[in-house]
Amino acid sequence: MAGSEQPDKKPAPPPPENAPKKAAPPEQQDELSEEDQALKDKLDMLVIRAKDVDQGVQKLALQTIRTEIRSATSSMTSVPKPLKFLRPHFSPLKIYYATEMPKGDNRVFLADILSVLAMTMGDSSRCESLRFKLQGGDEAPHLWGHEYVRHLAGEIASEYQNIVEMDAEMRDDTPDQPNGDAVKLPQATIPQIMNLVDDVVPFLVKSNAEPEAVDLLMEVDSLPKLNDLADKHNYSRICLYLKACADYVLPQEDIDKLLKIASDIYFQVGKLPDAMQVAIRRADMDSIRSIYQSSEPKSAVRLQLALDLGRAGILLDDVEKDDSMLPAMRNEKLTDQFKALAKDLDVLEPKTPEDIYKTHLLDARAPTASATDSARGNLAKTFVNAFVNMGFGTDKLMLDNESRWIYRNREHGMMSAAASVGMILLWDVETGLSDIDKYMHAEQDFVRAGALLAVGLVSANVRHEVDPALAILQEDDHINSTKAPIRNGAIAGLGLAYAGTGNETVKELLLPILTDKEMSADTVALAALSLGLCFVGTLDGDVAIPLLDVLSERQSASDVTKEALQPILLPLALGLLYLGSQEAAEVMNETIAAMVGSNTLLGRITSITFEVCAYCGSGDVRKVQKFLSICGEHASTEENDDATDSNSSSAPRTSSNAQANSPGTNADNGDGGESGAQEGNSDEKPLSEAEKAHIASAEQAVAVLGLAMIAMGEELGAEMLIRSFGHLLQYGDPVIRKVVPLAIGLLSISDPKLTLTDMLSKFTHDSDMEVAQSAIIGLGLIGAGTNNSRIAGILRQLSQYYAKEGPSLFLVRIAQGILHSAKGLVTMNPFYGDNRFLQSRTALGGILTVLFSCLDMKGTILGKNHFLLYYLALAARPRMVYTVDENMEFKAATVRVGQAVDTVGQAGRPKSITGFQTHTTPVLLAAGERSEMATDEFVTVAASMEGVVVLEKNPEWVDESGLTAAAAAMDKLEAEAAKKPPQEEKGEAAKGDGGPSSMATS
């Protein structure tokens, strides 16, 4: 009882005394200052007067309320006091407006005020602010402040979607709210919304709120209005935002609309190189031709456009007839520019494999490679030498006539050794073919095959007016040779030389080989790959249909273990034809299921490979989720775990028995009767659990690579995928763990991020040898062409760790060669341009060829098909800034190089780079770096300072420091001194040293 009386004692009364003060309504006088109380009383009185029967009193009250609100909302950082004090009156005013207020000017006046009040106290789901505005006057919305315009823009987008999506019967007002204060307002119409958009958008653009204007126009499907609003002052911010939105918009039609508007705006303001970049991204050949033809002949702008088209692999020889522009479009000067960069950096001296291995830095007490593995060691040196001296035109192994290095390899090793000459002479068609010619007439078939492959490598990404590669590869009927090595070398050479060109002659040469039923599976696979590379991303039906027929005929081959390339390259070739096509590939995907089937190894691999290629670089979240769910399935069962472990060396090869025994029809599958190729399969036995697990493992291997292929086009998605890979490595099946390092290498190729380097370094010591081997290749890929010292140290340690493991040591050497490609002067990243806006499909095709080959290392890289590594040449490009004048002659310029900064949607004029250093061109660009002009002496017409950039003299520039004049004078003196005869120079020197008179004169 005593305890119960405690609350009624003296300590209890203070809380009740303080409680009313905390719970007091905001209307209490002790809550407001005198100024606020006066404003509140004034607004209360004005609301009463606004309901007066006298129209004059009503109008004056409403005008005063409008003045108070406008003065408070012109620059809003918090809810203005007039809106706070008018909050209790909002519902009564709405009811009065709907029931008692007569029609007239005052009613329109009150609707405008209610529209502003609804911004903070209305029902957003009913779009009250917008609907009251439409009942109000014709005054511009921005008179009520920027925050009101932003709120109105949001409701416009919401109302427009309601009109478009909802059924006509459902477009009436929502039911009255329970408190009874809901007012039925007529829903907006499309014309009313468009009229309001025409008022809002110009104000947003004028207020430097271009992203909000673009968002609103996207919501109401009126983007073409931007063409009339863009000018030379705001076009950059508008177009940057449009291009950035393209990575997050679906479907493909909407992406194309965005980019089309950006291209039109660039063209409208005269920024033709920027318009050309967008047209290349859209793959719109009509726009590309139109933009190119609109430039002035023999101008700096046209030369820059030609260089940009050459970088994208587009040749407009039907449009451009000027001999001064065609070399730029054909990349004929690329080898000279690359060697000029190497000369400037003083790296022309050829390197040997020992310069890369640096065995003197290793522990002398550690074991070394055994002498019995010398053949594999020589092959490794061949590849390292080829990658390190790529494009330099000289080395100390292959081109040295005394070394005869090519004959220190055996059979297929001789083929790769001869082909390495093409890598060393990369891009140098003029002189390279003469150096290769001596191998064309060798006695050994493998040497001649390697020479044919070298012809293709020399011509990779470079065109020539007389097409010497096609003439050489056609002569003596190399393509139809009865000797498999020569035939395969010629076919692969055609694919390398004409990748991305869409050459019809190549199609005519290779289609008969592709459809020849008597041809070996490897030859057919290489022919399919060459066709896929030649017509990459073109959706060419003349190639796709024969490929489907071949896949249908060969889906039940009896033994794929002897033909390792077929289950890898045939599906990839079909995928390359539709690379990046997205929704346009859906019909073909259904055709694959009908013709090839979905219950066989080749059918399943073809289906998923085709899908990942079609959405490559799209960042499509739906596809990422689909492939993650495939990777999350545990295909292996307890009874076949041992079989999976023993055969998991290759996703496709593990399922060879499944392909041999798998039926074309199944009780659960109705595709069997849709294809004539599957007739007769109904008598075969159903798939066993082990065979189903093998097929599922093959599908998972491609799905993991597919995740990286889809996410690589968008940085945020790539970062999120790295976290998902961590879960897959922890919980996934062995085949998934094996492929994840390769996927990481694809995500960050030529971009050695520290976290990824450490992750892959950890897996190079994994207990599963296949995981370790994939991690080694992944390390080489993320550091490709960078000379990254951290990765180089890791690989040196691995060469010691795997000294007794021949295959693993061979892969370590390959990774070292890729890391030091072209002595660190190239990049293999298929994305280029500011913010990775453009994608080279040819480069991506070469990278995917190597990565898909790594799914079966024992049958490809570690077997007899190691020459597939040379397909990385399609992705190699100098990572430089090389400045030229209008005559394509080198022009030194001062540039700033720093880390790129994303300026999309940022206010003001933010800097595009940070942490910059000043250099004189030519300069190297690391991953994530960007360059800009450091002085105003020259102006560039390029869309981005990357690759070969054309400069023009700035007519308004004034040399205030006098440094340029001094440098010109020094150059003149040096030129005059060079012209003087040596005797005259000696005589002047003797006079200069004659005695005191000369001293005094000086």
User: How would residue 138 be classed by pLDDT, with cut points 50, 70 and 90?
Assistant: confident
Tens digits of residue pLDDT in 767-777: 999 999 999 99
For helices 689-711 and 621-632, the axis angle rounded to 10 degrees is: 150
Averaged over 271-290, what is the pLDDT? Answer: 94
pLDDT at 830: 94
CA distance 855 to 861: 10
* Amino acid sitting at position 108: V
pLDDT at 213: 93
Closest by Cα among 188, 106, 113 to 155: 188
Please determine, for residue 11, whether its predicted confidence score (pLDDT) is greater than 70: no
Tokens of 565: 């390339």
Other beta carbons within 10 angstroms of residue 575's beta carbon come to 27
pLDDT at 711: 93
CA distance 83 to 60: 19
What DSSP state is assigned to residue 890?
B
Tokens of 404: 């005869």
CATH fold of the domain at 616-634+692-878? Leucine-rich Repeat Variant (1.25.10)
Please determine, for residue 234, whether its predicted confidence score (pLDDT) is greater than 70: yes
Cα R_g (the chain), whole angstroms? 36
Please determine, for residue 981, whether its predicted confidence score (pLDDT) is greater than 50: yes
With the CA atoms of 437, 441, 444 and 445 taken in that order, what torsion angle do they form, in degrees rounded to the nearest 10?
Answer: 80
Please determine, for residue 372, whether its predicted confidence score (pLDDT) is greater than 60: no
Tokens of 149: 């315009």
Sign of CA dihedral 36, 41, 46, 47: positive
For helices 734-747 and 769-782, the axis angle rounded to 10 degrees is: 10
pLDDT at 241: 93
Grouping H, G, I as helix, E, B as strand and the rest as coil, residue 104 is: coil
Other beta carbons within 10 angstroms of residue 679's beta carbon come to 11
User: How would residue 992 be classed by pLDDT, with cut points 50, 70 and 90?
Assistant: very low
Tokens of 692: 């189903």
Tens digits of residue pLDDT in 531-573: 999 999 999 999 999 999 998 887 765 344 456 678 889 999 9
pLDDT at 557: 53
Q: Do the bridges between strand 947-953 and strand 880-884 make them parallel or antiparallel, or are there none, so unpaired? A: parallel
Please determine, for residue 639, whether its predicted confidence score (pLDDT) is greater than 50: no
DSSP string for residues in 399-447: S-TTT-GGGGS-THHHHHHHHHHHHHTTT-HHHHHHHHHHHHT-SSHHH
Q: Which residue has the tokens 């692969």?
A: 492
Percent of the chain topping pLDDT 90: 48
3-state secondary structure 247-269: HHCCCHHHHHHHHHHHHHHHHHC
Q: Do the bridges between strand 894-900 and strand 947-953 make them parallel or antiparallel, or are there none, so unpaired? A: unpaired
User: How would residue 683 be classed by pLDDT, with cut points 50, 70 and 90?
Assistant: very low
Respond yes or no on whether the N-terminal peptide bond of residue 14 is cis (omega within 30° of 0): no
Residue pair 740/725 in contact by the 8 Å Cβ criterion: yes
With the CA atoms of 939, 940, 944 and 947 taken in that order, what torsion angle do they form, in degrees rounded to the nearest 10?
Answer: -130
Q: Do the bridges between strand 826-827 and strand 877-878 make them parallel or antiparallel, or are there none, so unpaired? A: antiparallel
Other beta carbons within 10 angstroms of residue 911's beta carbon come to 12
CA distance 852 to 568: 6
Residues 6+ apart with CB under 8 A from 658: 600, 601, 687, 691, 692, 694, 695
Q: What are phi and psi of 472, to 5 degrees?
A: -70, -45
Grouping H, G, I as helix, E, B as strand and the rest as coil, residue 649 is: coil
Closest by Cα among 746, 810, 732 to 778: 746
Closest by Cα among 866, 824, 872, 829 to 849: 872
pLDDT at 146: 86
Burial of 602 (0-12, 13-18, 19+ CB in 10 A): buried
Please determine, for residue 180, whether its predicted confidence score (pLDDT) is greater than 70: no
First to last CA, the chain: 117
CA distance 564 to 812: 23
Instruction: Identify the helix (H) or strand (E) that includes residue 675.
Output: none
Please determine, for residue 10, whether its predicted confidence score (pLDDT) is greater than 60: no
864 or 600, greater pLDDT: 864
Please determine, for residue 983, whether its predicted confidence score (pLDDT) is greater than 70: no
Averaged over 492-513, what is the pLDDT? Answer: 93
pLDDT at 52: 85
Please determine, for residue 907, whether its predicted confidence score (pLDDT) is greater than 70: yes
Residues comprising the chain, all counted? 1002
Residue pair 400/424 in contact by the 8 Å Cβ criterion: no
358 or 875, greater pLDDT: 875
CA distance 444 to 416: 13
Tokens of 683: 């008598």
Closest by Cα among 871, 892, 873, 872 to 881: 892
Burial of 636 (0-12, 13-18, 19+ CB in 10 A): buried
pLDDT at 965: 62
Mean model confidence pLDDT for the chain: 83
Tens digits of residue pLDDT in 422-463: 999 999 998 899 999 889 888 899 999 999 999 999 999 999
Grouping H, G, I as helix, E, B as strand and the rest as coil, residue 883 is: strand
Q: What are phi and psi of 367, to 5 degrees?
A: -65, 150
Residue pair 531/576 in contact by the 8 Å Cβ criterion: no
Tens digits of residue pLDDT in 781-829: 999 999 999 999 999 999 999 998 989 999 999 999 999 999 999 999 9
Instruction: Identify the helix (H) or strand (E) that includes residue 610.
Output: helix 601-614
Tens digits of residue pLDDT in 953-971: 888 877 666 666 666 667 6
Other beta carbons within 10 angstroms of residue 837's beta carbon come to 20
Closest by Cα among 397, 430, 393, 391 to 416: 397
DSSP string for residues in 138-175: S--GGGG-HHHHHHHHHHHHHHHHHHHHS-GGGGSPPP
* Amino acid sitting at position 296: E
* Amino acid sitting at position 349: E
Grouping H, G, I as helix, E, B as strand and the rest as coil, residue 980 is: coil
Please determine, for residue 979, whether its predicted confidence score (pLDDT) is greater than 50: yes
User: How would residue 120 be classed by pLDDT, with cut points 50, 70 and 90?
Assistant: confident
Closest by Cα among 932, 926, 929, 946 to 893: 932
pTM: 0.84
DSSP string for residues in 531-595: HHHHTTTS--HHHHHHHHHHHHHTTT-S--SS-TTHHHHHHHHHHHHTTT-GGGGHHHHHHHHHH
pLDDT at 816: 96
Residue pair 556/684 in contact by the 8 Å Cβ criterion: no
Grouping H, G, I as helix, E, B as strand and the rest as coil, residue 735 is: helix
Grouping H, G, I as helix, E, B as strand and the rest as coil, residue 233 is: coil
Tokens of 595: 């013709």
Rank 2-16, 393-407, 702-716 by mean pLDDT and report only the highest: 702-716
Rank 28-37, 96-105, 201-210, 249-258 by mean pLDDT and report only the highest: 201-210
For helices 300-312 and 272-282, the axis angle rounded to 10 degrees is: 20
Averaged over 754-759, what is the pLDDT? Answer: 94
Tokens of 838: 């453009």
Tokens of 88: 């209790």
User: How would residue 171 be classed by pLDDT, with cut points 50, 70 and 90?
Assistant: very low
Tens digits of residue pLDDT in 702-720: 999 999 999 998 888 899 9
pLDDT at 991: 45
* Amino acid sitting at position 286: D
